Chains A and B, each alone.
Chain A
């Protein structure tokens, strides 16, 4: 309805459900994709994204519209929640299998896509996060730096390393281009 995000947030905090849903409509797609790629689980991604929007309404929410864009804040919140879940999963607190590794979904996924997913999953966590935000969500290096609380140069170098690793890992899947001499 054309309102600035901070106005919608102000209204949402006063209990206006429609304002919260407007914020959700504007931002949920990339957040869901990012959470899904980090956790590999549709159910986790859905829950994480909902939780991040609800967290915005809590009195102790640290979001300050004067300092951070809401999109950046939400990506940061999704990142933190996703990583917490992954760590809990690794510690066996919630031993769920990731969706993209179940036999049913694997059967549906193309071989190349599966290889890409596995190659990305094999990257160090810090490189994986940068790659997901930069390549799949098209965030700028400055935005990623703000989300991950890094210097832009560090983000750039992680992205370069991630891409170099993927180039090697996925070499067998490179599109074959016929060249004329």
Chain B
């Protein structure tokens, strides 16, 4: 018996596929990180809200009402800027994961042109018969509407009368989140 013949013989002994429960079993046994009492963004919200309230009360007591509104507005802008920065960072991270996961775009089940990547967390999809659509993973921008959701290794959303599904070969989000879309002019 030569080497090739022995190799062929050895190959007849095949291992079974791992049970589907194996991954789920690991997930269940995985120790959870101790959850913070408040998620990090919420903690910042609470800190800013407390600071604002303290200052507002202090100024009310001092009779300096003219400063009250201005300070509140500045604090409010600071907070909004902070939250938008956080969301943009998350969106960019999701986009980076998608780029590395060989995404395939399906419109009503038909494979179409690949995704195009815009600035920050934006991605563009050519939807035959409906035109070009941009998608992003965070709200708060004018003209963008919630059109579907990210879940696991896929993104699904409605573009006019068409259903768009983007499939990646790896998970891109840890938990479901909405997707916001806008038809490009």
Contacts and interface: CB of A to CB of B under 8 A. Distances in A.
Nearest to A47: B25
B27 A17 contact: yes
B73 interface: no
B95 to A, nearest CB: 12
B142 interface: no
Interface in A132-173: 135-136, 163, 166-167, 170-171, 173
Contact of B10 (A14, A32, A116): A116
A167 B26 contact: no
Interface stretch (A20-28, A81-89, A90-98): A20-28
Contacts of B16: 36, 42
B23 A24 contact: yes
B18 A21 contact: no
Contact of B97 (A1, A120, A177): A1
- Interface residue tally of chain A, by bracket? 35 or more
A115 to B, nearest CB: 9
A25 B174 CA distance: 15
Contacts, number: 104
Interface in B1-42: 1, 3, 5-10, 12-16, 18-19, 21-23, 25-27, 29-34
Nearest to B8: A175
Contacts of B19: 42, 46
Contact of B13 (A25, A42, A117): A117
A135 B170 CA distance: 29
Interface of A is mostly: helix
29 contacts: A1-B171, A2-B97, A2-B100, A14-B33, A17-B27, A21-B26, A22-B170, A24-B23, A28-B22, A32-B15, A36-B15, A36-B16, A37-B15, A42-B16, A42-B19, A46-B18, A46-B19, A49-B18, A54-B26, A57-B30, A112-B9, A113-B14, A120-B10, A120-B13, A135-B7, A163-B6, A167-B1, A170-B6, A174-B1
Interface of B: 1, 3, 5-10, 12-16, 18-19, 21-23, 25-27, 29-34, 96-97, 100-101, 170-172, 174
Interface of A: 1-2, 14-18, 20-22, 24-25, 28-29, 32-33, 36-37, 42, 45-46, 49-50, 53-54, 57, 110, 112-113, 116-117, 120, 135-136, 163, 166-167, 170-171, 173-175, 177
